[in-house]
Structure 1
Amino acid sequence: MLRQYELVERVKEYDPDADEAMLNRAYVYTVQKHGTQTRASGDPYFSHPVEVAGLMTDLRLDQETIATALLHDTVEDTLATIEDIELNFGSKVARLVDGVTKLSKIEQMPENERAAENLRKFLLAMSEDIRVLLVKLGDRLHNMRTLHFIKSPEKRRRIARETMDIYAPLAERVGMYEYMREMQLLAFEQLEPEGYATITNRLEQLREGDGGQVDAIALAIKQALAEAGLQVEVSGREKHPFSIWHKMSERHVSFEQVSDIMAFRVITDDEADCYRALGVLHTTWQFLPGKFKDYISTPKTNGYRSLHTSLMYENSMRVEVQIRTREMHRLNEFGLAAHWAYKQGDRPDGQVGWLRDLIEIVDASHDAEELLEHTRLAIYQDRIFAFTPKGALFQLPIGATPVDFAFAVHTDLGAQTVGAKINGRHMPLRTPLANGDVVEIVKGKDAEPQLSWLSYVVTGKARAAIRRAVRQKERAEVAEIGQKLFGVIADRVPAKIGKKAIRHALERLEMEEEDDLYYAIGAAKITDREVMEALVPGCTEELPEQPEWSKSELSIRGLTAGVGYELGTCCHPVPGDRIVGTRRPGEKVEVHTIDCHALASGIDNDWIDLSWSKRAAGAIGRLRVTLYDRPGTLAETTAIFAQNHANVRALAQIQNDPPFGSYEMDLEVQDVAHLNRILSALRASDSIVGAERI
């Protein structure tokens, strides 16, 4: 662990004007606050923030970042507050510590409870000041280095998976390849211990038996370039073990079939020498077509610049060569951290624009699972380049379509897309884009995102925007249904309902807008009785609790007294259906229709012959209804339900394939004859393409 004076000396070496007193205060503060706390390794807890601060000095970061690294766990793990930090170290450090703390809090929550709002705030803080992310990456790297001290294998795997899915890709996206590679290696060891052991053993065998082959190839490359008048540095290394594993898994090949295990790096004086060196290598050895990539003229999103090529060396050996200048190499290995260290007054906003997209994705995501899916998609690294007709360049994941491209240009353009031209030719919207394609989006004034697009878009931004638009459309349609039903409900109260009564009803129901009320009615989130009572308090006291035909609960013959039951959600039996029950020891009886497909999987269960004892409410029939996708069709459908005295319990759109839309609807019905009457009425409507019971 770094001692106090050693840490300060490190900072003073590259920043002689650093505030030595503040750094000393931060070191002492973290030691005092963490006190006797210990880590899983048995070391004092304060050793962790000190080591993270040391990692930040390796990146030559400024004094605020070093202080943040020292203090980053004090608010989360001690009695210190953000106000204390601001009082002692200033507002800049306090803001940075707060940003790091937000993500630490999210990490400790169960995955399904991680609040999108907290993540949005973290991403916003990160995009405003990338040092928040740099400290967090240093924090995660040191935690991964000490992960083996944690006794619980399950906890180690969870942390390793989170590192592989989120932090390693984030490190890649800001160009910190050294951090990315080490995180991947340490996570790989926990997630695939057998694969890790196998590959590291094979690499060790190669090292023992290669007879200095790596050094020999590096020398041959250097000599070939020297004969052409180029003074360069050449180094060789084995591919990263996780990189080899990933290639084996992706291509379904064995270790022996991974031909480019060795990689070489050529460092030149200037950019022109990079291209001269490339020409020399391609004329000295055969290069492999399709393996050349020019990241100098077209850098990666994170600013990475280099030439990549693969050569066929002697004895049919394939080797990968990367060619770059010294400045490129410095920026490539430590990315935005290196940029920050040398240009502190010129924040590299252009290189973190993708963070803005992540914030937009968070805003559009519906739940935690959807959010995680979109953010993973947004930070994965395999990219292609496509151009607008005016020459603007956009980077997209491999497999991206014109719809992804449209949303990448602007969310409004994506929403209005009706067609696309690729290299001047009209092409289907589901066409995967290739590197260098020129894409022209054809838009329509009244167009809107289609649910079917989700089957082929690949970017998180596009998927989030489409899902948000579809949800808004579904909500509007359900609210339209609710507005029609509201009119029927309002006619049943003993007063004329005006705007004032509705406003008071919204207050009683704790709703803000009329649309909220209509949606709640249409989605069956509120009962008719509750709406009536909100409109005219006390008006329901004389009303019967339920219609005459539904005064009693569902009753079934054939059950032993006191035995509970539940209606199968697979077949939704209603009175009038021929029913049977299945029972497992200690569980409720499941009631199914005699022809339910689920019975085929329950042969080992006890079967009970059942029948309905009386007609009663509470039975739910599920229908699949396909409508013409035009205004008024849903309203006509709900009018049919109202005319047949059926209560809508749930409604969801399951497919939108213009000019049709399909819905699943749960109705509270009297019996099977009642349900069949509703089906007949639906099928007779000109607005309805088809209706069937599920």
Structure 2
Amino acid sequence: MPPQAPAVSDALPTLEATRTAAHIHYADRRLPSGEPMFDHATGMSDILTRLDVADDMHVSAYLFGWLHGEHTAREREAQLESLGHAWGGEQSHRVSNLYALMHLGERAKVKSSSDKNANPDMLAQIERVRKMLLAMANDIRVVILRLVSRLQTLRYYAKNKVVCPVDVAQETLLLYSPLANRLGVWQIKWELEDLAFRFAEPVTYREISKWLDEKRIEREDFVANSIAALDRALKVQNISAQISGRPKHIYSIFNKMRGKQLQFADLYDIRAFRIIVDDVKDCYGVLGVLHHLWQPIPKEFDDYIARPKPNGYKSLHTVVVGDDGRPIEVQIRTNDMHQFAEYGVAAHWRYKEGGFKNGAVVTTEQSAYDEQIAWVRQLISWQTDLTHTLAGQDKAFKLQDPHIYVLTPDARVIELPRDSTPIDFAYHVHTNLGHLCRGAKVNGQMVPLTTKLHTGQTVNIIAVKQGGPSRDWLREGFTNSPRAKSKVRAWFNAQATVEYIAQGRAVFEKELQRLSKTAVKHDDIAQSLGFAKTEELYLAFGREDMTAHNLEELFKSQAPVEPTKPAADANWVSAQANKGAVGKGGVLVVGLDDLMTQLAKCCKPAPPDEITGFVTRGKGISIHRSGCDNFLNMQHQHPERVLACTWATRAGTRYAVDVLVHAQESVDLMKDITDILAREKILISGLRTVRQGGTDSRCQLSFSLEVENTTQLQKAMSALMQVTGVAQVERS
């Protein structure tokens, strides 16, 4: 067990005492990079010295690894308690948060290249990890400590010429350097980028290094000398200005060359100044002095004050040739313009991270969360300028993010509203996962589904293979996100719809049977009633939006209009009087060629059946099949009423026939029969099923059909005999 923290005293340990305690505590322990932990802490403290922060930050740097090596939660809690007794609760809390942030990279791996044109989903994941990192740190100073720690790690790799893992370098470029940029910690941002780029793209890094024919120190000396010369010239003109040099770094050069597709020789801002003055008049005054002092490059002047960019950005941009013959890019603006560019919609970090599209900078809308970032940057700047300690500004340094950020088992970051539960998490990952959710593990431990999640936790959903949500999930406590609640409601609405459709179909088919319209296609009825799909028709009947009355009105409206001649569906035959023996030709009756007749319902003849007419009393001529039992009986009693008839069928006429099918019951029997009838274009106008007794499950199906002729019917009957289970098919 490593040495414990020193005993608590009236005053908290000094920085020197903390350094001594850390040296004893860390002993010979090393970080995964191989760097001794005490050397890492010392390096962090040296970097913080450049940032001009208060001593409590240096104390935190030496305590950074106090929890490293403690493998159980109980051991870490014991160390935190000991730390709190010795250095106070604030340091204990800070070290705990720093420990969580340093282990975030192990759980939320950023697996991608540093290309700005990468997959949008991957870029969104990176942005969620950034927000997650900030959300996990209640104190923004913890984020700064994490940035400093990463910079010290990269310095260790570079100094000792140790191979840096590529994923560490990429994580720095994608996660930590953009955060340093957003927080305005310029002193360490460029070093993070250049060191990470050196390890992530070593070949490209060496090429750009060769292009730069001067070392960074030499470039910065040149910038410093140029600033001094410009400052003297401005004082002569009584112009007060703040001049800051912006020497371009290797990673910045690489980004600009890639983003604007430029060659190295085409870059004008390898070295750059930013000049801030009090008013617009002085902007143009500085421009005149600048162009008098150094030779301007033609066509490289942009007046964004007279013609602001669409996003409101204002500034003067020019490029001049320095004393050594190399170009210098200069930006001139007022304080208000600078504030807008730094903290408004044209903020520098948006330019750096937005990428390029068709030569233009891609930006996004500014959010309340981004405004908090801007406010933190101002606080850091004020703290440096006024040498105030960060103590006493805790509230201002706490980012109030309305979201939490949790991890899936495969390290994907999920952004959820605060107070979300495992059910909210499941529905955010996938709707079906939410429906099938039955339990959850948080950081490997089973938890109730009402558990509120917190940033940094890893959530694993336990799901069943089939099922659905519970109505209890709509109660407060189970789901707290609008998305999850809407998904649960949608599921129950869909279930109700399925039930309505099933009920509606049963009602609809029953009404068709009552109206003797079972042969009419459901799709045709749906279209006639204004429904795009048949399911919508069933749903309307299930919800009672449609009733039998609507069907009756539909069929009435489709009934044929009575013409002056007999109806179109009337069946006509040519009847001829019997002159002596009935021959094949036949004769006319009382000089008439045609008589309206009716087809007998007892035998239901259809062409080309042999037919014979029988003169009825008051109902015209009844046409029977020649072998009809009823006709033979009437012929025996009244032979004088018999007429020889031949078919004279009009095109498109259908005839009603009855067919009896004897078969063995099976699941597919009805489907097979109806498929054959549909293929032969025979309409079914009625069906009656009779189950016969016994153990062989035989049945008798009586079909009422509508055919054009018996040839069509015979073809269908032959096909029906081939159906499995069919024993006999006959006309009735």
Normalised to the residue count of structure 1, the TM-score between the two structures is: 0.45
Structure showing the higher helix proportion among its residues: 1
In terms of Rg, which structure is larger? Answer: 2
